[in-house]
Amino acid sequence: MRRGSRDVVATAVSQLFDAAVQPHGVEESGEYRIEELARLAGTTTRNIRVYRDRGLLHPPLRVGRIALFNDTHLTRLRLITSLLDRGYNISHVREMLSAWEQGKGVGEILGLESAIAGSWATEKPERMSVADARRLVDDDPGFDRMVGLGVIKLEDGEAVIVRPKLIEAFNDIRQYGVGTDKLIDLHERIGPLIDQISGILVQAGIEEVLHRINPGAALPPDTEIAELITMLVRFRTQAVSAVSATLAFSIESTIESLVGEILGDVIDKDSGA
């Protein structure tokens, strides 16, 4: 991302943490019972009680036997949900909130890149010697093509496997006699189509972000920022899940159709004989 974009998101995340750690007071505008708080935050009353017991949420205001929560609780709860959805556990979240309360910055707690996208990456590059990388690919022409496509990068006399899962898939399929050249050809044909799908999905996310946060304009309320961050996390997760499920369904349907045609041809030949 461009520097300006990072600064906007850093400011938004900082304001969100600020709102999430402020102690509640009488000036807060919203008052919610636990059931309403759960509904607004998209969680359950059981989860809220667990977060309270673990020290993630401030105690509610007690009015007789009624526990009243406010906007600070709501913002903090949405932030907790967002971080848990990203894979952090409750102990990590408690440490992050505690660190922010002690005056540490976003960079010290998460690192801006990590705060925005760090744990989302599905493939982590692997660095090894060029000789080991060539043995991994086990096909010199194929290795050179992968370098040309950016699947492998050569840096400082070493090889960086940018797409280790892709190479692992290639090696698995090669065991059935499919050549490396054919697999790379397929990758070259499929890659642009995947990029088109990604572009459509990302554009939808960008449009929603720009609808909520206009560059140069004042940032929206902290509760909206919390919703936006949660939306982005869930959007990414659900987009990948939906595309994977759709692709799997399409492949299964196509295989069934082709197998049916092949079997039909075999039966016709047998009948003719």
pTM of the predicted model as reported, rounded to 2 decimal places:
0.50
| Contact present, 78 and 23 (Cβ < 8 Å) | no
b/e burial code for range 48-59 (CB count within 10 A of at least 16 → b): beebbeeebbbe
Q: What is the pLDDT of residue 26?
A: 36
Tell me the average confidence (pLDDT) per consecutive run of 10 residues in the chain, 273 residues long.
50 61 49 88 89 86 84 82 76 76 58 43 80 95 95 93 92 93 94 88 77 68 67 74 85 84 76 66
How far does CA 246 lie from the centroid of its chain? 18
| Contact present, 72 and 19 (Cβ < 8 Å) | yes
Q: What is the pLDDT of residue 216?
A: 66
How far does CA 33 lie from the centroid of its chain? 32
Helix axes 34-41, 71-85, angle to 10 degrees: 50
- The arrangement of strands across the sheet holding 61-63 comes to 31-32, 66-70, 61-63
Separation CA 211–CA 209 (nearest Å) = 5
| Contact present, 126 and 161 (Cβ < 8 Å) | yes
Separation CA 250–CA 271 (nearest Å) = 31
Q: What is the pLDDT of residue 116?
A: 42
The owner of tokens 């799997």 is 248
CATH fold for domain 19-109: Multidrug-efflux Transporter Regulator; Chain: A; Domain 2 (1.10.1660)
Separation CA 106–CA 15 (nearest Å) = 10
Give me the residue spans of the domains in the chain: 19-109, 213-272
DSSP notation for 115-177: HHTGGG-S---EEEEHHHHHHHHT-HHHHHHHHHHTSEEEETTEEEES-HHHHHHHHHHHTTT
